[in-house]
Amino acid sequence: MDEIATIKHEVKMNEWNRQVMSWRESGLSATAWCKQENIPSSTFFYRLKQVRMYLLDDVNKGDCIFEQLPVLSETHPIDTTNVTSDITLHLNGLDIDISSGTDENTIVTVLRAVKSAW
């Protein structure tokens, strides 16, 4: 893609992502939200799929950077009584919990599986 086409694509994906986020925040079913916004549901579901693929494409390109997070020393204890995971990724309605100690290959494998399921 040339530079102009790339920028146009990114602008379109950002707009469609805003629509997806608006739907998620509304608490409505996708069909009800589409009716409210006067968007055909088939158009919305196409856009939803395109946004998901766009967001997960960075993982396959290797654009995501995995870094080791620093571990707090025992002198700074953390209350973990209500903690279920160290990191939660929210991907358009899908929540992925990642615990400390999860290796990079596992994370990449899970994200690739999620992408192929969409």
Give the per-residue pLDDT at 60: 67
Q: Report the run of H or E that residue 95 belongs to, with start and end.
A: strand 94-98
pLDDT for the residue numbered 31 = 92
At 111, the pLDDT band (50, 70, 90 cuts) reads: confident
CA dist 21 and 25 (Å) reads 6
Least confident of 6-15, 31-40, 90-99: 90-99
DSSP string, 33-62: HHHHHT--HHHHHHHHHHHHHHHHHHHHHT
Average of per-residue pLDDT across 89-113 = 76
Ramachandran quadrant class, 112 (left: phi over 0; alpha: psi -120 to 50; beta: rest): alpha
> Each residue of 40-92: pLDDT tens digit?
999 999 999 998 888 777 666 665 555 555 555 555 555 555 555 678 877 76
Please state, in angstroms and rounded to a whole number, the distance separating the CA atoms of residues 18 and 96: 21
- Whole-number pLDDT of residue 77: 57
Amino acid at 84: T
**φ/ψ bin of 92: left (φ > 0), alpha (ψ from -120 to 50), beta (otherwise):** left
Tokens of 27: 């608490």
Does residue 62 contact residue 31 with C-beta atoms inside 8 Å?
no
**pLDDT at site 6:** 84
